[in-house]
Chain A
Amino acid sequence: MKTQSPDTLSVRILAFGIAKDILEDNVIWMDLEPGSKVSDLKSALMEAFPAFEKLQYVRFAINESYVTDDEIILPDDEIAIIPPVSGG
């Protein structure tokens, strides 16, 4: 676990499928500004891992539900990167 300082939002991010290959791990931590939205996380990920640009599209889930780019991230949220799914 990481401790939260008031001026940083440390978030735990789960990765699956090709996102896991890009991050080279199935879970990472990132530091964001408090009050950040999913769109801010997306930009931070693109910057840290340029290979995300090559994906067709990526969705995000917070606490096991799909969210839009406008969703505000809270300190204890479980965030997941959901690359194009391919079940069945």
Chain B
Amino acid sequence: MESQIHLTDLPLDPSGIHQYLSTPASGGIVVFTGTVRDHNQDLRVIRLEFEAYEPMAIKEMERLAQVCSEQWPCHRIAIHHRLGILGVGEIPVVIGVSTAHRQEAFAACQFLIDALKVHVPIWKKEVFTDGSQWVSAHP
């Protein structure tokens, strides 16, 4: 298994990631793209602000890629996460997996995005028309 793990202030490139994932043996490639939406419940979201404990976030993403490849036969795994200020419609995260068959690619990709949201030390602040909050900070 090969992996490509990135934290960056620059816009993410889903098609470049798709290209990276493609190998002659890969019959299935699943790429998940997260995008900034314009609301959370009834509140209008203007932008999101992401920050990370960068060295640990990289380590955790590498660890999750490893755990994932032990559970599913992955050819390549890409986990790219954006930092800084993102507007509605921009892409904070792209996760992609290539495998021989589609079932493993779907399952592995789902595992990675779910695990990222639990373990990787990245935080987002939602900025509304009148105020802001750190997501998940309070019950």
Which A residues are within 8 Å of any B CB, using their own CB?
A: 14, 16-18, 21, 54-56, 61, 64-66, 80, 82-88
- Identify which of B17-25, B67-75, B99-107, B110-118 touches chain A: B110-118
Contact B81 A55 (CB under 8 A): no
Looking at chain B's contact residues, the main secondary structure is mixed
Contact A56 B53 (CB under 8 A): no
Contact B124 A87 (CB under 8 A): yes
Q: For residue B114, which residue of chain A has the nearest CB?
A: A88
- Given A16-B123, A64-B55, A80-B121, do A87 and B81 touch, yes or no (CB 8 Å)? yes
Which of these, B34, B117, B125, B138, contacts A54 with CB under 8 Å?
Answer: B138
CA separation between A54 and B51, bound complex, in Å?
21
Which of these, B122, B125, B138, B139, contacts A87 with CB under 8 Å?
Answer: B122
Tell me the number of A-to-B contacts counted with CB atoms below 8 Å. Answer: 79
Contact A64 B124 (CB under 8 A): no
Q: Using a Cβ–Cβ cut-off of 8 Å, how many residues does chain B contribute to the interface with A?
A: 29
- Chain A residues near B123: list those with CB within 8 A: 16-18, 83, 85-87
What are 25 A-B residue pairs whose CB atoms fall within 8 Å in the complex?
A16-B52, A21-B134, A55-B137, A55-B138, A56-B137, A56-B139, A61-B53, A61-B121, A65-B56, A65-B59, A80-B121, A82-B121, A84-B137, A85-B118, A85-B136, A86-B117, A86-B135, A86-B136, A87-B92, A87-B93, A87-B117, A87-B123, A88-B34, A88-B81, A88-B92
Other A-B contacts than A16-B51, A17-B134, A17-B137, 16 sampled, CB-CB below 8 A, are A17-B125, A18-B123, A55-B138, A56-B138, A61-B56, A65-B59, A66-B119, A80-B53, A85-B119, A85-B121, A87-B81, A87-B120, A87-B122, A87-B124, A88-B34, A88-B113
CA separation between A84 and B57, bound complex, in Å?
14
CA separation between A88 and B34, bound complex, in Å?
6
Please tell me if B128 contacts chain A, counting CB pairs below 8 Å.
no
Most buried by B among A17, A61, A83, A84: A17
Most buried by B among A14, A80, A82, A87: A87
